Amino acid sequence: MSDKFRKSKSDKSSSAAKTGAKPASGPAAGKRRSSEGPAMPFEHKILEIEDKIQELKELADSTSFDVSGEIVSLEEQLREVISKTYNDLTPWERVNVARHPKRPVTSDYIQMLDDFVELHGDRTFGDDPAMVTGMATMGDRRFVLIGHRKGRTVKERLECNFGCAHPEGYRKAWRKMKLAEKLGLPIVCLINTPGAYPGIGAEERGQAMAIAENIIGMFSLKVPIVVLVIGEGGSGGALGIGVGDRVLMMEHAYYSVISPEGCAAILWKNGERSPEAAEALKLTSEDLTALGVVDEIIPEPLGGAHRAPAEAIATVKETLLRHLEELDGIPADELIRARRLKFRNIASIEGRFPVVSG
Amino acid sequence: MSKEPDPKEVAEQTEDPSERKPGRLSRLRFSKKKDMPGGLWLKCENCSSLIYRKELEAAGRVCPSCSFHFTLPGRQRVQSLLDPGSWEEVFADITGLDRLSFTDKIPYSEKLAKTAERLGQNEALICGRGSIEGRSVILAVLDFSFMGGSMGEVVGEKLALASDLARVEGRPLVIFTSSGGARMHEGALSLMQMAKTCSALQSLSDAGGMSICVMTHPTTGGVTASFASVCDLVLAEPGALIGFAGPRVIAATLKQELPPGFQRAEFLIKKGMLDGLVSRSELRPMLGRLLDYAKGSHVGGDVEDDLAADEVPNRLSGGRTDSRTPSERGKVRLDVPSAESSN
């Protein structure tokens, strides 16, 4: 196999180490921040302190002043502010964190793998860049990885339609899942999409049908499926690769039937009421765990995964390995039966759903 | 047989301004109310010709000029489709919950109660036993008059129960859809119904049961992207709008006008997404013919195949109070009791 098909640690698009590293001292602090994407208002204070620390460090490097005392106290203050801010995030702020441009995306998680061979195409229509699929090895586990791809740079993001997959993306995912089943490999799905692509070509090629076929098909796959929402869990586009024996969610990810903007636009004809919609939709990991939609929350480093990607990725790796281990060796018929019952009884509430009388 | 509401009454009920209805467009075009005396006339949303409302109802809500198939209220669909006297509604008393305490203009719980009162039914999905040209079926009809036929927990649960009933009783499942998709008032809970319904349908399919979905105007979003599209046979009424994203969303995303006929049933069949187009007047004979092919294909009702034995019988009782003793309840019961019809 040529190197072209092999996405290994040299993948330039994004490396965990790179995103985790502090940028080298360089341009002025204000400028440095603005290059990191749109600021989230609730992070202003955090960024201010981070900038101050950076400035002091630069000062220490270029002069002989000893500012280590100030730096230590600022760092202490920073931890407090981050902790306070992130403990009180509103659902809308959570959505912003889930969309943060520096948040680890599927290609970053691919970096945690010991081997990854990307497999392209649905052998019917095309190769959707918004869906990445391939053979993966992590520690002593081999599996098939399916994930939405958002891209990191503007160019990549445009190429991937910002993670909005077309029908060929869902069919590509299905094809690789069937391959996993045949080879007896478990499946790991990383969800990170604002939603399936709404466009003319997508409708022509059966967007709804492709998603529906995946959902029903996943109920018959004879291998374990672990699903993890890493950022945005946008509606049917997320569920199209979201039927699993385990459904996990990153602490600051969201999973919803509609985007807060879409909800606000429909209900109140006013996109500015998105924060209210985010609140109403109960889309946070805590809400969804309480409702019984999500099995487990993967905690993120203090201040969100974008602040310490390497740490977040390590936790994800550990958690995924644990679930793969737990699901290993369960006979296929038991697995399928349990998976169907899981979704049949999902978000159950005693005396109401599922309907049980008496 | 349930008491069917008068068609005219139903038509008026669908004119609730809070819902998107065919008649709404015509009202917008007429600047003064006196131009539309008593709503006796309405404008076809396809060909724009003026139609006398009574004539439209007499024609089964099909435009006399262009044959556009207007959305048919759920009860009217049941009445027009089934053999007279064969209808026996089940799961009618399952009611929804406002688990998210969702409020738009009014609290969702209030909206549910008001809609239920107005339409005389608890939810958007109507399920029951019946026969079509002598072939017995389990019928599930999504009613667009009930919050745009949107799918929340009750719709998902009832669809799954209807699928179980079809499996256990060895009857084909016939579904009619008209829906705006998942019901956002129930957040991710409504999203999960897409998976729940597919889970049940796969179990029906594994048992050899036949499922037919007829998509009617309009069928979009999470309904198209789940149970509606995975039935063995997917048919549509002519002119029906069918899609994943709504046309307005697509037009707004692409910032361009959509080609004529986009997302209509004729467009979908051309693209290979449907098994057939069937006009309303042909539905009964066509379904009758197709249902003949289900004969003998059903393997049987071993409910333990897929679901725990202690859950299925209780569920299939339709959510009503179960008078059996706990020990009896543990047994699988295949003779599902009929529910009294809801009026």
Q: Compute the residue count for chain A.
A: 358
Tell whether B231 is in a known binding site.
no
Contact A353 B221 (CB under 8 A): no
Does the pLDDT value for residue A331 go beyond 90?
A: yes
pLDDT band at residue B224, thresholds of 50, 70 and 90?
A: very high
Identify any residues that bridge with A117 across adjacent strands, giving them in sequence order. Answer: A6, A135
Mean pLDDT of A17-46: 52
Q: Over 80: is that where the pLDDT of B72 sits?
A: yes
| CA A294 to each of CA A83, A189, B197, B198: distance values in angstroms, whole numbers, following the listed order | 24, 14, 18, 18
CA distance A276 to chain B (A): 10
- Report chain B residues whose CB lies below 8 A from the CB of A256: 187-188, 191
With CB atoms and an 8 Å threshold, state whether B306 touches A216: no
pLDDT tens digits, residue range B90-134? Answer: 999 999 889 999 998 899 999 999 999 999 999 999 999 999 999
Res. B317: pLDDT tops 70: no
CA distance, residue A323 to nearest chain B CA (Å): 21
Encode pLDDT of B128-151 as tens digits.
999 999 999 999 999 999 999 999
What digits encode the pLDDT tens for the residues B238-279? 999 999 998 888 888 888 889 989 999 999 999 999 999 999
pLDDT-derived band at A328, boundaries 50, 70, 90: very high
- Select the more confidently predicted residue: A327 or A37: A327
Contact B164, B197 (CB under 8 A): no
Give B178-208 pLDDT, tens digit per residue: 999 999 999 999 999 999 999 999 999 999 9
Q: Is the pLDDT of residue B313 over 50?
A: no
Q: What is the pLDDT of residues A151-204, one digit of tens each?
A: 988 999 999 999 999 999 999 999 999 999 999 999 999 999 999 999 999 999
Torsion angle in degrees (nearest 10) through CA of A354, A356, B1, B5 = -50
Least confident of A233-247, A261-275, B305-319: B305-319
Lowest mean pLDDT among B1-5, B112-116, B268-272, B310-314: B1-5
Please tell me the distance from the alpha carbon of residue B153 to that of residue B196, in angstroms, as a whole number: 9
Contact A254, A235 (CB under 8 A): no
Interchain CB contact of B245 with A (< 8 Å):
yes
Q: Which CATH class is domain B71-321?
A: alpha beta
Contact status of B325 with chain A (Cβ, < 8 Å): no
Nearest to A293 among B161, B192, B329 (CB): B192
pLDDT, averaged across chain B: 81
Token couple for B246: 């709504």
Q: Which residues of B touch A220 (CB under 8 A)?
A: 202, 206
Sign of the torsion formed by the C-alpha atoms of A173, A175, A179 and A184: positive
pLDDT > 70 in chain A, percent? 88
Rg value, chain A, Cα? 21
What's chain A's average pLDDT?
A: 88
Q: Is the pLDDT of residue A61 over 90?
A: no
**pLDDT for B228 beyond 70:** yes
Instruction: Indicate whether this complex's ipTM tops 0.90.
Output: no
Alpha carbon distance A317, A302 (integer Å): 18
CATH 3.90.226.10 intervals, chain B: 71-321
Q: Is B63 annotated as a binding residue?
A: yes
Residue B263 near residue B215 (C-beta atoms within 8 A): no
Q: What is the pLDDT of residues A283-324, one digit of tens each?
A: 999 999 999 999 999 999 999 999 999 999 999 999 999 999
Determine the Cα–Cα distance for residues B171 and B86; give it in Å rounded to an integer.
14
B-chain CB neighbours of A278 within 8 Å are: none
Given B184, B191, B258, which is nearest A200 (Cβ)?
Answer: B258
* Residue B45 pLDDT class (50, 70, 90 cuts): confident
Task: Give residue A69's identity as a one-letter amino acid code.
Answer: G
Spatial distance between the Cα atoms of B163 and B199, rounded to a whole number of angstroms: 10
For residue B189, the SS3 value is: helix
Q: Is the peptide bond before B218 cis (omega within 30 degrees of 0)?
A: yes
- The pLDDT of residue B296 is 60
Check CB contact of B99 with chain A, cutoff 8 Å: yes
- Residue B176 in tokens: 């009619």
Q: Give the span between the Cα atoms of B238 and B253, in whole angstroms.
A: 27
Query: Model confidence at A64, in pLDDT bands (50, 70, 90)?
Result: confident
